[in-house]
Amino acid sequence: MFKGILITKGDAGYLAQLQSIDDSVLPEGDVQVQVAWSTLNYKDGLAITGKSPVVRRFPMVPGIDFAGTVTHSSHAAWKVGDKVVLNGWGVGETHCGGLAQVARVKGDWLVPLPAAFTERQAMAIGTAGYTAMLCVLALERHGIKPADGEILVTGANGGVGSVAIALLAKLGYTVVASTGRLAESDYLKTLGAAQVMDRAELSAPGKAIGKERWAGVIDTVGSHTLANACATTKYNGAVAACGLAGGMDFPATVAPFILRGVTLYGIDSVMAPLAVRLQAWERLARDLDVSKLEAMTREIRLDQAIDVAAELLQGQVRGRVVVDVAGS
């Protein structure tokens, strides 16, 4: 038996509870991990609260991330005692995830914990930070350089946005942060934002094409925000879309793409191949200022995760939330 959050669905409805879990609940896998730290992402908030049909199998342990130590392995790449990190692969949705003290997964899903980070720091980065790095890599591959102009980051107070700002600033880019919480402007500037703008400037229906401003964009919001970001991106610029906090719709036209040669990159962190993951974590170890990571991180216990998940969906959480699973 081990402690964890378990989501069930039955006659009593949808329910997430902290409880003792028998290991018979865990699905098949060739590696078992003693989880030390996990984290709360937007998708975890949706899963725990039931606000969106994220969970596809019941009962389910939520948590799309974890870091911990291998305790059993029949996988050639891993041995007992190895420190590992997991992001995505449907964990917390179709396969029991990281918000429990034990996880059993496929070894092919794991990456080694980078030597530059502790388990806690790896989860302060989590899927949000790893996704932010994938977005930065997409802009770099497109050829966007700091001298090309401003980079817009939407949903800036969230996990992806916060890490993206810190990464871009360290790499020398001029970052404009878009947020609905202007009271957090000092926080965003501490991370490296040169300017903070009200999300209202982008969240309402806009023109098919507008004045060129952004050399590149990292968008976590979707909907009108993404459409307006594309419409105001410079000629041959690029937009990396990785989130839908504002909606899954995309009320845009083809104008920015055929008149300005704007490229829209879709960023998937869930099923990204191992080589991409390793590259992202290698770059995070090199390019993320750990002191800024700590400034954006809030630590909670496992027994607080259900309440904080609701706060996250209400826009009351900034930056990253790490969950102390082992110490709970």
Strand partners, 252: none
Per the CB < 8 A criterion, the answer to whether 89 and 270 are in contact is yes
In whole angstroms, what is the distance from residue 145 CA to residue 92 CA? 36
**Overall CATH class of domain 2-113+296-324:** alpha beta
| Residue 113: closest CA among 103, 105, 102, 123 | 123
Q: Tell me, what's the pLDDT at 328? A: 67
Q: Tell me, what's the pLDDT at 4? A: 98
Tokens of 29: 């896998």
Q: Tell me, what's the pLDDT at 74? A: 98
Q: Tell me, what's the pLDDT at 11? A: 84
Residues in CB range of 45: below 8 A, 6 or more apart: 51, 309, 310, 312, 313
| Domain layout of the chain by residue ranges | 2-113+296-324, 126-266
Per the CB < 8 A criterion, the answer to whether 279 and 98 are in contact is no
Tokens of 80: 């007992």
Expressed in angstroms, the distance from the first to the final Cα of the chain is 14
Alpha-carbon torsion, ordered 116, 281, 243, 202, to 10 deg: 70
In whole angstroms, what is the distance from residue 96 CA to residue 63 CA? 8
Q: Tell me, what's the pLDDT at 90? A: 96
User: pLDDT by residue for the chain (328 residues), tens digit each?
Assistant: 999 999 999 887 899 999 999 999 999 999 999 999 999 999 999 999 999 889 999 999 999 999 999 999 999 999 999 999 999 999 999 999 999 999 999 999 999 999 999 999 999 999 999 999 999 999 999 999 999 999 999 999 999 999 999 999 999 999 999 999 999 999 999 999 999 999 999 999 999 999 999 999 999 999 999 999 999 999 999 999 999 989 999 999 999 999 999 999 999 999 999 999 999 999 999 999 999 999 999 999 999 999 999 999 988 888 999 999 998 6
Q: Tell me, what's the pLDDT at 52? A: 86
| Residue 226: closest CA among 123, 325, 137, 155 | 155
Q: Tell me, what's the pLDDT at 327? A: 87
Tokens of 194: 């040169």
What's this model's pTM, rounded to 2 decimal places?
A: 0.94
Residues in CB range of 224: below 8 A, 6 or more apart: 202, 203, 204, 205, 206, 246, 247, 251
Decide which of 3.40.50.2020, 3.40.630.30, 3.90.1150.10, 3.40.50.720 is the CATH code for 126-266: 3.40.50.720
In whole angstroms, what is the distance from residue 41 CA to residue 268 CA? 15
Verify cis geometry, omega within 30 degrees of 0, for the bond prior to 59: yes
